[in-house]
Amino acid sequence: MNYSGIKYADMINGKGIRVSLFVSGCTHCCKNCFNEETWKETYGNKFTEKEEDEIIEYFKKYGKTIRGLSLLGGDPTYPKNIKPLLKFIKKFKENLPDKDIWIWSGFTWEEILEDENRFSLIKECDILIDGKYIDNLKDLNLKWRGSSNQRVIDIKKSLEKNKIVEYI
């Protein structure tokens, strides 16, 4: 898996101060995507154990002020990203069980539930921002998403209640 960047102390992509990992690879190719270069799975650098350890060490050093991890792209649910991200999430949770994980996907909740591989990744996270970015639904007033069709979903509560529970 490749990644295009890691933002430390990010305050835009999720609640609180976060570390954001931008992975490469996306099939959605949304019109006017803010991160178009990440569509190619080969864009950026290889995400290795070195980067995994750097992120975890950053949390250990500054963890009292950092709320959680955000996984964006590209699309973290792009097929080649799922296994490496599952491995990283497991390691992350073992080291930092009190931190939350937010994930963005161009797929909707309903589409993710129908795909065993995507679901295996999503269920390990806490908050999902779902759906493609749709340029004519762009709304700069929305938190954590670019267009009004996208939802901010509490994954654990949604699975528990067997219906979508939006995060407020």
CATH number at residue 123: 3.20.20.70
Q: In what order do the strands lie in the sheet with 2-10?
A: 45-46, 2-10, 18-23, 68-72, 100-104, 127-130, 151-154
pLDDT of residue 54: 97
Amino acid letter for position 96: L
Q: Look up tokens 């080291």; give the residue.
A: 95
Nearest to 21 by CA among 35, 42, 7: 7
Using a cut of 0.75, tell me whether the model's pTM lies above it: yes
Q: Looking at the domain assignment, is residue 166 inside a domain?
A: no
pLDDT of residue 88: 98
What is the dihedral angle through the alpha carbons of 158, 162, 164, 168, rounded to the nearest 10 degrees? -40
pLDDT of residue 33: 87
CB atoms within 10 A of CB 48: 12
pLDDT of residue 99: 97
Q: Looking at the domain assignment, is residue 167 inside a domain?
A: no
- Number of domain units in the chain: 1
What is the dihedral angle through the alpha carbons of 92, 95, 100, 104, rounded to the nearest 10 degrees? -10
pLDDT tens-digit profile of 113-153? 999 999 999 999 999 999 999 999 999 999 999 999 999 99
User: Which residue range(s) make up the domain with 125?
Assistant: 2-161
Tell me how far apart the alpha carbons of residues 132 and 151 are, in angstroms, rounded to a whole number.
10
Q: Look up tokens 């161009």; give the residue.
A: 106
Q: Looking at the domain assignment, is residue 84 inside a domain?
A: yes
Q: Looking at the domain assignment, is residue 22 inside a domain?
A: yes
